[in-house]
Structure 1
Amino acid sequence: MDDVGKNLNRLLDQKNFRTRFEEMMQEVLQDQDVRNFLDANKERLTQQDIERSYAKLYEFVQEKRKFEVNDPSMIAPGYEPQLTLNYHSVDVTYIPTEELLARKKQEEIRGRIQALNMPKDIQEARIETYEMTSGRGEALMAATEFIRAYKQNSKTFHKGLYLVGSFGVGKTYLLGAIARDLAEAGFTSTLLHFPSFAVEMKQAIGKNQVSEKMEAIKKAPILMLDDIGADSMSSWIRDEVFGVILQYRMQEQLPTFFTSNFSMLELEQHLTVTQRGEEEPLKAKRIMERVRYLTKEIQMAGRNRRNS
């Protein structure tokens, strides 16, 4: 904003341009918004006050013209210039437009949906656009009920959902829609593609970052783990990563969601056999006890929307 005044002062320092300056200021003073402002404040501003405020009046007219054509060289893009009275002088303030406020609000909402290794459009999923079909109705109603109950009292424990179904039936989209609805109410969710996270955790061992990554995930206010069971888990991922996350969330009673192609019974069988082919049914059962405590299992069916 100072640049406008400095440019004007430099103009005044050049005698050859004094005539041009006077012409410019006559043009500025003829601006309808300037005239209305000066007329509304004629009891508060003397002619001398107005002359001292020429730089600000000039700035206002210049920036208003840029604002009207959305010129990117504006001092404050997205902010509309307005004249204000500052004691015995004129000043310019910049008011955010409704469009800018709406954009910032949407950015804040998307910022509450922390999607890690998830589809790019997951933050735009919405309950209102989730297609109600016979195979997805129960899941949609359960999601709506969770949202209602959580908004009503986020301090008590609410069971999340364990969504089971084949590829493309809308499990992941529904998680995103739940997260979006909650984000609009001010709540933060973390959506995580678990197989990708498992790979990251293995890589984190050599970088000594396991604890740091685990803390951020296990303490998420609302955690949504996508594609559980898509890959076989090593004993370490199952017990020291997945199991530790579930244990913490069970103890702290934090809302947790899962999507999987396996039912809970099938997931237990999947977790029983390690990558090395060893069978560890007791460890798998312990994991599933935590999953069942945290979530309600819901079957989903329907066409594969990824290929439609």
Structure 2
Amino acid sequence: MESLGQMVQKMSSPQLRQRSQQLVHDLFHDPLVIEFRAQYPEISEQQLTLNLSRLYQYVKDCKHCAACPGLDLCPNDFQGHYTRLAVENVTGESRIYDRQVPCAKLQARETESQIKKRIYSFYVDERALQEGYDEVEIMSKDSMRSPAVGRVFRYINETRENGLSPQGLYMVGHFGTGKTFLMSYLLHELAKSGYSGVIVYMPEFVEDLKSMMMDSQKLKDTVELMKQADLLIFDDIGAENLNPWARDHVMGAILNYRMNRKPTFYTSNYDMKALERHLSFTNKDGEENHKGQRLMDRIAPFVDVVSVNGSNKRGNRNK
């Protein structure tokens, strides 16, 4: 097959040939080609002429990337990729080769997709898991919650450095102070390091357990998922309408397995004493102090309590 350069040389129409020669001239004088030639001075003029199509594709892709309209609107022939040129010595002659390379935006999307596969959410708005705020931005949202934010950052860094610990966090504070967001951020950040995670919105989960009683396999799979996840978050614990079965046979089984093995995290409007009172009372059997205490024995020793202060941010996009 003839190269683009050879076809240019054979064009019979003077006007067409002149136009083509101008295109070749412009291509050779493009800053990207000049830079490429400076990087590989061993490349001959003949090799450049034989590889005009590769040079053209390289320049076109680079210019598209410089004015990137976003991954979904990528104008390159191979969406999310750009042409990269390389030079290899073959039988004593330097030759130009090209390959399609994924761009940073595509790599970031694929990385995010892998992160999402490590996180399972029960009834929690998944947008909270995808915010991607940096540390400075999170810290600047509300100075009153800075100590809590700092504790979350420290937990993330310690886990990355030392591996998983059986000790979790208990985030307590008023409505709308960002507890769920901070826990979702922790989950997302540690998923980047390869940890799997589950976050469960307790009020809806406990309600859904009623239907799972009729589907033993779904219940078994759900409980096993929560047992085995590297990170488990019970979001808004204390707001659920407990029944003895959910407390003793579901939550109890999960926490009994995880204690001393893997960390469990909680967000709540209740402090520890108030949570124990909540867990001691069910809508069926009334108050059972020893049942509440038994569950607390699987919670309190395995968490560090973190107070989350600040203003109510419900309905505010700037969490």
Same fold, TM-score > 0.5, yes or no? yes
1-structure distance, mates of 2:291, 2:202: 19
Root-mean-square deviation (CA, aligned residues, Å) is: 4.1
* Contact map agreement 1:113 1:123 (CA 8 A) in 2: no
The alpha-carbon deviation at position 179 of structure 1 amounts to 3.7
Shift of the 155–259 alpha-carbon distance from structure 1 to 2, 3 Å rule, reads: closer
Per-residue CA distance 1:98-135 (angstroms, 9 max, x = gap):
666677667766776655433423543565434343xx
Give how far 1:289 is off.
Answer: 0.9
Aligned to 2:272: 264
Cα distance in structure 1, aligned partners of 2:42 and 2:3: 30
SS at match of 2:170: strand
Q: Deviations over 1:127-153 (max 9, x none)?
A: 5434343xx566456545544543442
CA distance in 2, matches of 1:6, 1:199: 70
Structure 1 residues 59-68 or 177-186, which shifts more? 177-186
Amino acid in structure 1 at the alignment position of 2:124: M
Q: Is the 8 A contact 1:25 1:58 kept in 2?
A: no
Residue 121 of structure 1 aligns with which residue? 128
Name the residue aligned to 2:97: 91
Question: 1:122, 1:152 → 2: CA distance?
Answer: 22
Change (3 A) 1:116 1:14: farther
Q: Aligned residue for 1:214? A: 223
Matches within 5 A, 1:131-210: 131-133=142-144, 136=145, 139-140=148-149, 142-143=151-152, 145-147=154-156, 149-157=158-166, 159-179=167-187, 182=190, 187-207=195-215, 208-210=217-219
Identify the match of residue 251 of structure 2 among 242, 248, 251.
242
Contact 1:53 1:89 in 2 (8 A): no
1:58 to 56, 59, 71: 56
Change over 3 Å in CA distance of 1:186–1:6 after alignment to 2: farther
Where structure 2 has 5 or more consecutive residues not aligned to the other structure, the ranges are none
Q: Is the 8 A contact 2:3 2:51 kept in 1?
A: no
CA–CA distance in 2 between the matches of 1:305 and 1:37? 52
Change (3 A) 1:146 1:92: closer
> What secondary structure, in the 3-state scheme, does the structure 1 residue paired with 2:282 have?
coil
Task: Indicate conservation of the 8 Å contact 1:127/1:181, yes or no.
Answer: no
Q: Which letter maps to 2:128? A: D
What SS does structure 1 have at the residue aligned with 2:299?
helix
| Distance (Å, rounded) in 1 between the aligned partners of 2:233 and 2:2 | 54
Post-superposition offset of 1:287 = 1.0
The letter of the residue matching 1:287 is L
Structure-2 change in CA distance of 1:201 and 1:24 (3 Å): farther
CA separation in 1, counterparts of 2:220 and 2:75?
A: 46
Contact 1:272 1:284 in 2 (8 A): yes
With over 3 angstroms needed to count, the CA separation of the structure-2 counterparts of 1:304 and 1:40, relative to structure 1, is: closer
In the alignment, structure 1 segments of 5+ residues that lack a partner are: none
CA distance, structure 2, for counterparts of residue 202 and residue 222 of structure 1? 25
The CA deviation at 1:249 is 0.8
Is the partner of 1:305 in helix, strand or coil?
coil
Per the alignment, do residues 8 and 291 of structure 1 end up closer, same or farther by CA in structure 2, a change over 3 Å counting? same
CA distance in 2, matches of 1:260, 1:285: 17
Task: Indicate conservation of the 8 Å contact 1:57/1:90, yes or no.
Answer: no
The 3-state SS of whatever aligns with 1:85 is strand
Q: Equivalent of 2:282, from 274, 277, 281? A: 274
Distance 1:14 1:235, change over 3 A: farther
Identity among equivalent pairs (%): 28
Q: CA deviation at 1:215?
A: 1.9
The structural deviation recorded for 1:258 is 0.9
Q: What amino acid sits opposite 1:272 in the alignment? A: S
CA distance in 1, matches of 2:87, 2:315: 61
Contact 2:3 2:50 in 1 (8 A): no
